[in-house]
Structure 1
Amino acid sequence: MTVRLFAPLVVLALLSACSEPLTLEPLAEGLSWARRAASPTALYESQGLAVGDTLYVFGGFYNSRIQATTKSYAFHAPTKRWRALRPLPEAVTHAGQAAYGDDIYLAGGFLGDHPGPPSNRVWIYDTKRDRWRRGPPLPQARGGGALVALGGTLHFFGGAVREGHRYRYDSPDHWTLDVKGGSTTWRRAAPLPRARNHLAGVALGGKLYAVGGQRLGDEVNRNLRLVHAYDPARDRWRRVADLPYPVGHIGASSFAHKGRLIVVGGTTQGRRRVASVVAYDPARDRWSHLTPLPEGRSSPVAGAIGGHLYVTTGMRGGPQATTWMGRFR
């Protein structure tokens, strides 16, 4: 959430007025969307991802006063049921998220109610024991950055530094942590070619992808179409095909599925809430459109489970609790 200089209720009214979804023509390969049980709490700007047969949702903002919660939930796809998890150790939004083994890592983010300060903390959730523990902190505090796990190494890149409502700068920094080897020290890697925040990070085919995002706190005019791919063997980024439209607020709704990179929802220019679902094929360096969501959503949580896509929570005129399942036709 990056709106500045407005009282909370005015903010919510403005968001509602700008919530028309962006949709484009789907390809013949489509999705049929069906509702599933709603999240126990309406949320947006949550952290989360799919691990195994479960979609995890951690924290987020829960009301028009832009207050953050520590509540966390898991949606078990086979039984179509939600359960409460052990709450986050602290209220945080805009953290990067990644899974390795039985653990889910949350790195950085903004602390507490909006506009909270950036954080360098790393929290690790044990999916088997329903427990949290601290991880090695980031070298510096960042909010709205991306976290990706690739080959036993965590990669954190991008994000912003903010003081109150004022964004000081976007960061191109890229740090790595060898979790497989038990390292407790983050190391520098090649920086992002273009600094930004509210971006997504995805691992696919042995490479990392930095997808979309926004510049500073401007989600009205400065959402980005940029996509960069990182080769860890060469420690080098290169630009690949741009997104079909500029979009940010996709950090928890972008993921790999069957050899493609999927981006669900987000925010585009004019602060419009995106309904579109797009897929990137790295072999062809090309984006395609899938059947859009029934409604636009900014900052939802999404992932793939059992060949289907699951999408929950997000912003559209206020926090939402809706959950959808997308089945490929």
Structure 2
Amino acid sequence: MKKISEISITIGSLLVLFTPLFSTAATHLTVAASTQSWTELTSMPIAVQEIYPVLHQGEIYVAGGISDALPEQDGQMTAAVQIYDIAKNQWRRGPDLPEGRHHAQLVSVGSDLYLLGGFVRATSANNGQFWQAGNWQASADILKLSANATPWQAVGKLPKPLAETVSFVKDDQIHLLGGRSPAGSDNSQWQHHVDQDWHWQINPTDLPAPTAVTTLTKLPVKKNSAAIAVLDQQAWWLGGRNRKLGNSNGLAAFDFKSASWLPKAQTPDLPEAQAGLAAAAVGQHICLFGGEGSLEPNNVFSTIWCFVPKTSSWQAQGKMQPARHGHGAVAVGDSVYLIGGATVAGLKETTGLVQRWQLGSK
């Protein structure tokens, strides 16, 4: 057990106006008068990026991931499941996935864990340069790890292979939004996949029957590598990218009561167009962390932006230390645990860094 360092940062109050890329209207932003507390914790034993950690039974689970430090013969991806004991600040290994994968959704439903989709190593790949050649095969797998079980079990299939999506759980139903899926029969390289506007709802108790998956109203836009957070009976869908249009600064919210998307007037654009970011609900804020812009010149975002639905405004709440993308953000009480990722854009400089961030007002 170790705690490397703990610091506090106080930011003064400043009102600014900012018009983000691709936006047609100014977004009102403030730099909030608040104190952020940072605590550096025990790093992951295996540094990974492109992960979607989840809080499960009081611990944080990380399943799979990809890293520039992992062997090319394994597609630079891992099947490892890493479990973080919050109270002890310690990591341990859980049951490995059946195969290495990344960009897969990990969700907690009751006492069970589910992993959905993601990229696995392409079976038809004949090029050793896995990242450069984009030899990633999208998966339709639905895997389950039951309480006290040791192996993961295949319990169903998605309607289509899907990766780079986002997910949330509502009333024990799993929701998948957007992502990338094969455009045709080819499914062995990243460039074979296109952006989607699907919104699927999955009832785990009905698996493996195909009827376990219900198609809901299409999303407002097609995009991948977004982030999502749930607050006050609404799921907030942030950022992401469209392969043809580039990074998105879009914000949309799905209202559980009406089962519809909120009007655009209630969802002002993000201050910056960013993808590969992470988000979490903290108090009455939706806070987003990091993300990447273009690969050149290794554009990674550092400002922590928090959206306040009650005032429909954005606030800057300090900076990530260091900036990164492809990481996870897990809210536990009034804290957010920021896990892994990479400090430069692309499959470079993968880190196992784990930090606890807390937002407090003066």
User: Which of the five TM-score ranges fits, normalised by the shorter chain?
Assistant: 0.7 to 0.9
Larger RCO, structures 1/2 (Cα 8 Å, 6+ apart): 1
Partner of 2:53: helix, strand, or coil? strand
Partner of 2:203: 178
TM-score by length of 2: 0.76
Structure 1 unaligned residues grouped into runs of 5+:
1-23
Q: Tell me what 1:61 maps to.
A: 66
- Confirm whether residue 28 of structure 1 aligns to residue 33 of structure 2: yes
Mapped pair 1:79 → 2:88? yes
Measured after TM superposition, the shift of residue 42 of structure 1 is 1.4
Task: Please tell me whether the aligned partners of residues 196 and 213 of structure 1 are also in contact (alpha carbons under 8 angstroms).
Answer: yes
Letter in 2 for 1:200: A
How far off its partner does 1:293 sit?
1.5
Q: 1:297 aligns with which of 315, 318, 324?
A: 324
Asked if 1:156 corresponds to 2:156, the answer is: no
Give the alignment's TM-score, normalised by structure 1: 0.83
* Mapped contact 1:303–1:311 kept (Cα < 8 A): yes
Cα offset for 1:288? 1.7
How far is 1:226 from its partner? 0.6
Q: Which runs of 4+ in 1 moved over 6 A?
A: 180-183
In the alignment of these two chains, the number of paired residues is: 301
Q: CA deviation at 1:214?
A: 0.7
- Letter of the 2:105 counterpart: G
| Among 266, 275, 283, the residue aligned to 2:302 | 275
The reply to whether residue 210 of structure 1 matches residue 237 of structure 2 is yes
Larger radius of gyration: 2
For 2:137, what is the secondary structure of its paired residue? coil
| Pair 1:121-2:141 in alignment | yes
CA distance in 2, matches of 1:306, 1:207: 18
| Structure 2 gap segments, 5+ residues each | 1-28, 122-129
Contact 1:102 1:128 in 2 (8 A): no
Cα distance, 1:25 vs structure 2: 8.3
Deviation at 1:196, TM superposition (A): 0.3
Q: Matched residues in 2 for 1:160 and 1:309: separation? A: 27
Mapping 1:106-117, distance limit 5 Å: 106-112=115-121, 114=131, 115-117=135-137
Change (3 A) 1:108 1:182: closer
Structure 1 counterpart of 2:284, from 243, 255, 259: 259
Mapping of residues 222-261 of structure 1, within 5 Å: 222-238=246-262, 239=264, 240-250=267-277, 253-261=278-286
Q: Verify the 8 A CA contact 1:77 1:305 in the aligned structure 2.
A: no
Residue in structure 1 matching 2:349, options 302, 318, 322: 318
Question: 1:252-307: per-residue Cα shift (whole Å, max 9, x none)?
Answer: x3222323322221113455122222222222222222222211111112212242
**Which of 86, 94, 98 is the aligned partner of 1:89?**
98
- Quick one: which amino acid aligns to residue 157 of structure 2? P
RMSD of aligned C-alpha atoms?
A: 2.4
Q: Is the 8 A contact 1:142 1:161 kept in 2?
A: yes
Q: Secondary structure at the match of 1:166?
A: helix
State the distance in 2 between where 1:182 and 1:105 align.
12
How far the C-alpha of 1:40 sits from its partner, in A, is 0.3
Given residue 95 of structure 1, which amino acid in structure 2 is its aligned partner? A
Structure 1 residues 43 and 137, CA, compared in 2 at 3 Å: closer, same or farther?
same
Residues 283 and 125 of structure 1: is their aligned pair in 2 closer, same or farther, counting only changes over 3 Å? farther
Q: Give secondary structure in 1 for the equivalent of 2:88.
A: coil
How many Å separate the matches in 2 of 1:51 and 1:265? 24
Could you list the per-position Cα deviations for residues 28-81 of structure 1 after superposition, in whole angstroms to 9, with x for gaps in the alignment? 223121211111011111231233542221111122556111012111121111
Of residues 222-231 and 237-246 in structure 1, the stretch that sits farther from structure 2 once superposed is 237-246
Partners of 1:183 and 1:167 lie apart in 2 by 27
Is 1:175–1:187's contact at 8 Å kept on the other side of the alignment?
A: yes
The residue that corresponds to 1:100 in the other structure is: 109
**TM-aligned CA distance change 1:127 to 1:76, over 3 Å:** farther
1:310–1:325 Cα contact (<8 Å) kept: yes
| 3-state secondary structure, aligned to 1:144 | coil
Q: Structure 1: which amino acid aligns with 2:83?
A: A
> How much has 1:325 moved relative to structure 2?
1.5
Match of 2:358 in 1: 327
Moved more, 280-289 or 150-159: 280-289
What is the CA distance between 1:243 and its match in structure 2?
1.3
Corresponding residue of 2:56: 51
CA contact (8 A) 1:107 1:147 kept: no
Shift of 1:249: 0.9
Match of 1:9? none
Q: Is contact 1:50–1:302 with CA below 8 Å preserved after alignment?
A: no
What is the CA distance between 1:135 and its match in structure 2?
Answer: 3.3
Corresponding position of 1:195: 222
Identity in percent? 21
Query: In the alignment, what sits opposite 1:138?
Result: 158
The residue aligned with 2:79 is 70
| Equivalent pair of 2:156/2:207 in contact (CA under 8 Å) | no
Counterpart residue number, 2:313: 286
